[in-house]
């Protein structure tokens, strides 16, 4: 005769065969509260991690994720927006630091079409599209002591040096290649560069 109670007891004692339908809250050795579902950080009605210092993070199925606000809130420091484990925010910066620094991300890549994707509190700015340094109408990197022009993540500038430093140093690049500047041959080098781009497209 089959002993159903014995079978049920064996199945219940082996947690790998049982999946839970609601998260379980535990308190770790530091006093932090953590919500788990099937051994993954998971909570749909609030943060899945609440640290004793006030920091909070939202997780779904083991990935940082929150649609209606930052997925990480560090008290007195920063906020970070995540969707499906990737830094992502469409209506503003995905990283906001209390010192004023900001970074824009889409699907885990630095990206912003209407301005710099990185704005630091010291005034430094960097332009990115789809994770690559890129700017058509000016330098893609602006720092206190230098400016750098990039196209598609390569140092590149046709109408002047691609790197200008505050001490007067200048460096010319086309498609990521350093060029020894000669005003007599520069226009031809730019034309050759454009032809190479067309041929390799």
pLDDT in tens, 22-31: 999 999 999 9
How large is the average pLDDT for residues 1-7? 48
Residue 117 has a pLDDT of 99
Sign of torsion over alpha carbons 192, 193, 198, 201? positive
Residue 190 has a pLDDT of 85
Residues 174 and 55: their CA atoms lie apart, in Å, by: 46
How large is the average pLDDT for residues 37-66? 98
pLDDT over 80 (residue 14)? no
pLDDT in tens, 95-141: 999 999 999 999 999 999 999 999 999 999 999 999 999 999 999 99
Residue 187 has a pLDDT of 83
């Amino acid at each position: 005769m089959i002993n159903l109670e014995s079978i049920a007891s064996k199945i219940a004692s082996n947690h790998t065969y049982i999946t839970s339908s609601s998260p379980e809250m535990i308190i770790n050795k530091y006093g932090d509260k953590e919500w788990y579902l099937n051994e993954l950080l998971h909570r749909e009605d609030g943060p899945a991690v609440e640290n004793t210092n006030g920091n909070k993070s939202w997780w779904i199925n083991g990935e940082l994720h929150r649609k209606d606000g930052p997925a990480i809130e560090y008290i007195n420091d920063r906020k970070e927006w995540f969707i499906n484990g990737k830094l992502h925010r469409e209506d503003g910066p995905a990283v906001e630091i209390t010192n004023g620094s900001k970074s824009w991300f889409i699907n885990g890549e630095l990206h912003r079409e209407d301005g710099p994707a990185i704005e630091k509190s010291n005034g430094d700015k960097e332009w990115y599209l789809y994770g690559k340094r890129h700017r058509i109408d000016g330098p893609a990197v602006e720092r206190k002591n230098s400016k750098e022009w990039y196209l598609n993540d390569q140092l590149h500038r046709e109408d002047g040096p691609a790197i200008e430093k505050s001490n007067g140093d200048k460096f010319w690049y086309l498609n990521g290649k350093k060029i020894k500047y000669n005003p007599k041959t520069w226009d031809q080098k730019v034309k050759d560069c454009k032809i190479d781009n067309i041929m390799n497209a």
